[in-house]
Amino acid sequence: MNFKYFMPTEVYFGEDVVANNKEVLGPLGKKALVVTGRTSAKNNGSYHDIAAALGELAVDFILFDEVEENPSLETIEKGSRLGKENHVDFVIGIGGGSPMDAGKAMAVLIKNPELDQETIFSGEKFDHLPFVAVATTSGTGSEVTQYSIVTSDKEKIKKNLGQSVFPRVAFVDPKYTYDLPYAITVNTSIDAFTHLVEGYLNTNATVMSDIYGEKGFALFKDCFKGLLNYELDREFRKKVMLASVMGGIQIALNGTSIPHGMGYALTYFKGLPHGLSSGVFTIEFLRSFKNKDKLNRMLDIMEFSSLDELEEVFEKLIHLDLDITEEEIKDYARTFVSNKEKLKNYPEEISFEQILAIYTKSLLK
Ligand code: NAP
Ligand code: ZN
């Protein structure tokens, strides 16, 4: 029953949470760097709400709206330069995981002007400017995690920045997702589900983290129905956003497991969206466990009589069209197992051959 529990983010969940709680931004400083993707934040109302709140508080801000999907270290440096030149006191990341993660990295680089995209990975932990997250997808949970996943073109891979940047405040308003297109809704919902699964069936799982996992699975019982029936109404949006926050808290506590680590190569080399790149391994990951106790509890909560039923749902939601060879798969598997850190959250012994089998069965069906 021993556990450590740490979740320092102040989370505001529900409709109009930015306007109703804007005063929490006041003490963070006089000038903010607002970080977004190219268009969606301006269309879904989130940028407008933040700009209005800052205006009413007389907090000045400067906008960096150039974050691409899977943000590169170059983009992060560019935004950081803008923040340094303007002497900002805090950073607000608005968007899906990409702008939120990029904003977290900028909060570190602005606070430590001597750092650059090489030295930030030295292993040393650095302080950061206060960071505020405004989530506009229901998937990554980045609004409640300390992680920032960045793309290194030099190393040809996506990786964790290795710094700990928990948002000071997270605004989670489902209304920003009401018009999220179906395909992005599926991809990001699968991401949220994989966080729940990988955080739950995890070496670090505790009685506290299981609470989030089990509640998240109960929400997904309905969310899967919404996705399969194209019923993306407000009730669905609220439930999947809540499940996404719960998945985020789970991975903040426990970390993800092997599907996430295995999937980064698919995003980098094949352009597969993040949620699908992990989700494509979920079923084989679940089949790989010898101890089925927790797996069966998870299936019971979602009212699936077997893993095959969950697989049917995944087959309806994920349509892969990957051009990939056995040789490429072997390369990914070799690179993946060469980093033992990536295997430590998997609660049983797992060999290179088993990892290769998960890759092969999932990708060469
Ligand atoms: P994303 O890459 O942030 O955005 C994907 C697309 O969705 C973009 O085209 C974006 O448009 C659009 N979009 C965002 N919100 C929208 C809305 N409300 N309505 C319409 N379109 C919208 O997608 P994501 O899946 O949320 O984030 C993926 C990234 O998060 C990956 O880099 C992944 O590695 C990372 N991640 C981080 C964590 C963590 O704990 N930090 C966990 C999991 C994943 P715009 O570009 O115009 O905004
Ligand atoms: Zn993820």
List, for residues 223-272, the tens digit of each pLDDT value.
Answer: 999 999 999 999 999 999 999 999 999 999 999 999 999 999 999 999 99
Q: Of all atoms in ligand 1, which is nearest to the CA of residue 67?
A: 46
Indicate if the alpha-carbon torsion angle 123, 125, 126, 131 is positive or negative: positive
Residue nearest to atom 22 of ligand 1 (CA): 40
- pLDDT score at 156: 86
Tell me the whole-structure pTM to 2 decimals.
Answer: 0.98
Residue of 137, 250, 260 to test ligand 1 pocket, by largest number of atoms within 8 Å of CB:
137
Give the count of alpha carbons within 13 A of 182, CB side only.
10
Phi-psi region of 353 (alpha: psi -120 to 50; beta: other; left: phi over 0): alpha
DSSP 248-260: HHHHHHH---HHH
Tell me the per-residue pLDDT of 17-42, one tens digit each, with 9 for 90 and over: 999 999 999 999 999 999 999 999 99
19 touches 53 (CB < 8 A):
yes
> What is the residue-averaged pLDDT of the chain?
97
- pLDDT score at 215: 98
Q: Which residues contact 292 (CB under 8 A, 6 or more apart)?
A: none
- pLDDT score at 14: 98
Look at residues 113, 39, 118, 51 and name the one whose alpha carbon lies nearest to residue 80: 113
- pLDDT score at 341: 84
Q: Of all atoms in ligand 1, which is nearest to the CA of residue 191?
A: 43
Indicate if the alpha-carbon torsion angle 314, 318, 321, 322 is positive or negative: negative
Q: What is the rounded CA–CA span in Å between residue 346 and residue 196?
A: 14
334 to 238, 312, 329: CA distances (angstroms):
40, 30, 9
- pLDDT score at 339: 84
Crossing angle for the helix pair 352-363 and 258-270, to the nearest 10 degrees: 50
Q: Name residue 2's amino acid.
A: N
- pLDDT score at 118: 87
The phi and psi torsions of 318 (rounded to 5 degrees) equal -105, 120
Mean pLDDT of 296-320: 97
Per-residue confidence band for 164, with pLDDT thresholds at 50, 70 and 90: very high
**From the CB of residue 189, how many other CB atoms can be counted at a distance below 10 Å?**
28
- CB of 255 closer than 6 angstroms to any ligand 1 atom: no
Q: Which residues contact 259 (CB under 8 A, 6 or more apart)?
A: 194, 198, 278, 279, 280, 281, 282, 285
- pLDDT score at 245: 98
Tell me the per-residue pLDDT of 180-206, one tens digit each, with 9 for 90 and over: 999 999 999 999 999 999 999 999 999
Tell me the per-residue pLDDT of 95-148, one tens digit each, with 9 for 90 and over: 999 999 999 999 999 999 999 988 999 999 999 999 999 999 999 999 999 999
Mean pLDDT of 273-290: 97
Query: What is 180-363's CATH number, 1.20.1090.10, 3.40.50.1820, 3.30.1340.30, 3.20.20.70?
Result: 1.20.1090.10
- CB of 119 closer than 6 angstroms to any ligand 1 atom: no
Alpha carbon 157 to its chain's center: 16
- CB of 193 closer than 6 angstroms to any ligand 1 atom: no
Topology at the third CATH level for domain 10-176: Rossmann fold (3.40.50)
Look at residues 34, 55, 49 and name the one whose alpha carbon lies nearest to residue 131: 34
- pLDDT score at 73: 97
Q: What is the rounded CA–CA span in Å between residue 171 and residue 169?
A: 7
Look at residues 264, 273, 253 and name the one whose alpha carbon lies nearest to residue 149: 264
Residue nearest to atom 11 of ligand 1 (CA): 40
| pLDDT for residue 74 is more than 80 | yes
- pLDDT score at 365: 77
Token pair for residue 339? 């980093």
Domain boundaries, the chain: 10-176, 180-363
DSSP 305-346: SSHHHHHHHHHHH--------HHHHHHHHHHHHT-GGGGTTS
Look at residues 162, 174, 91 and name the one whose alpha carbon lies nearest to residue 136: 174
Measure 52 CA to ligand 2 centroid, in angstroms.
31
Indicate if the alpha-carbon torsion angle 252, 218, 44, 18 is positive or negative: negative
Mean pLDDT of 333-358: 94
